[in-house]
Amino acid sequence: DREALQKLVGSFDSNGDGVVDASELKVLLKIGVGADVSDEDCEAIVRTVDTDGDATMTFDEFIDFLERR
């Protein structure tokens, strides 16, 4: 469910700022789904879904990313 997913994503927020940056996304994808994604690809993913231009993904932006897949 959404709450469990939010808790999972939040567990990869290593600096506790409430958002996921490209380096945190890389770890999330590796541990969460076993995907070995390059730094450049993680940065591109963040740029693609980052609607507010802060170079990070909020949980809602992450959900939007998943729903597009």
Q: Is it the case that residue 64 has pLDDT exceeding 80?
A: yes
Per the structure block, which two tokens stand in for 33?
A: 């789904």
Q: Pick left, alpha or beta for residue 56 (phi over 0 → left; psi -120 to 50 → alpha; otherwise beta).
A: beta
Three-state secondary structure call for residue 57: strand
| pLDDT band at residue 43 using 50, 70 and 90 as cut-offs | very high
Is the whole-model pTM more than 0.85? no
Reported as type and span, the H/E element at residue 12 is none
HSE value, Cβ hemisphere, 13 Å, CA-based, for 61: 19
pLDDT one-digit tens code per residue, 7-36 = 888 888 999 898 999 999 999 889 988 999
